[in-house]
Amino acid sequence: MEWKPLDRASFEAELCFDALGPVGIVRTVSRAATIEHSEAHVRQTAERNAFLIMPIQGTATLSCCGREAVLGEGDFALSDSFMASKVVLHSTHRALLLAVPYRLLEIHVPQPEAVLGVPMSGRCGLGQTIHVLLQSLWAQAERGLPPQYGQQVADSLLALIATAYAIERRVDVAESSLMTARRAQIKRFIETHLRHPDLNAVAIAKALGLSPRYVRMVFAAENEHISAYVLRRRLEECARQLCQQPWLRRSITETAFDWGFTNTAYFARAFKQQFGVTPSRYRLARSARSRTVSRPPR
């Protein structure tokens, strides 16, 4: 994205990042500016994320998906990194943002396009609850949130956001059919039990009271076998954990075992096939890249 300050001579900005499991939480401070994510930027975007923006001080206007959301303090709206968008900060501005992997948003909001660019008030109802909760979560993240609770916190927060849109804006985030409802249920179960080595269609079916054949059939509409989905998600979580500071002292084998792999040779082959390099080279490359990132201006 490109930041275009209203006054280049006096422009200052700061960005601080932390994590709630797979969800990034960001605090920004900026003077008046326009932040543009153009079609050219979209073409360069490798990972699809949804971004929730919530001003804490000042106002902002988000343009996304043909919708325009004027956001006051505590209000929020969502954008998609695979679509062009623009945020106008009208004055000195503080905000909290969430960076949510799009596939995770789809688990909680089966039709995310229905809520992109739709503003939610942070002054009443569940919107107000989310406003207060996000500020509390940022304070907790600064103090240190135990990483083993990050996934649970993220799931609860996303479920609350989805419910707020369903109730207060009357945006239909309910599943469009029994089949898509079942698929969302299966994905939620997979995300919760991803670390279990015996996670497969049979185990999922037994836990949800379904037949293995039905579970495979429901998932087939995704053009990805359920076993391939489980493998991909485990590899993604391993890759993420390999590069995060709290786990840098853990061995690659320990990380693989943490995420349900029981055969290190199989893990290494699958990882290289997914990311093009071995786990050790992936960790070294990402660690080197993170050391070259410059600090934000103060």
Secondary structure element (H or E) that encloses residue 191, with its range: helix 178-192
| 217-240: average pLDDT | 85
Angle at CA 214, nearest 5°, toward 105 and 226? 50
CATH topology of domain 2-174: Jelly Rolls (2.60.120)
Architecture of the domain defined by 178-290:
Orthogonal Bundle (1.10)
| 197-206: average pLDDT | 93
226 pLDDT more than 50: yes
How many Cβ atoms sit within 10 Å of the Cβ of residue 244? 12
Q: Which residues fall within 8 angstroms of residue 201, CB to CB, at 6 or more apart?
A: 212, 215, 216, 226, 227
DSSP designation for 10: G
Distance of CA 113 to the CA centre of its chain: 15
Q: CA end-to-end span of the chain, whole Å? A: 19
Q: Which residues fall within 8 angstroms of residue 36, CB to CB, at 6 or more apart?
A: 1, 2, 4, 85, 86
What mean pLDDT value characterizes the chain?
Answer: 85
* Residue intervals in the chain for CATH 2.60.120.10: 2-174
Instruction: Identify which of 260, 125, 283, 247 has the alpha carbon closest to the alpha carbon of residue 196.
Output: 260
Lowest mean pLDDT among 10-19, 111-120, 161-170: 161-170
* Residue intervals in the chain for CATH 1.10.10.60: 178-290
Q: Interhelix angle for 178-192 vs 226-242, to 10°?
A: 40
| pLDDT digits 0-9 by tens, 137-194 | 988 888 887 877 788 888 888 888 888 887 776 654 444 445 666 777 888 889 889 9
What is the structure's pLDDT at 140? 87
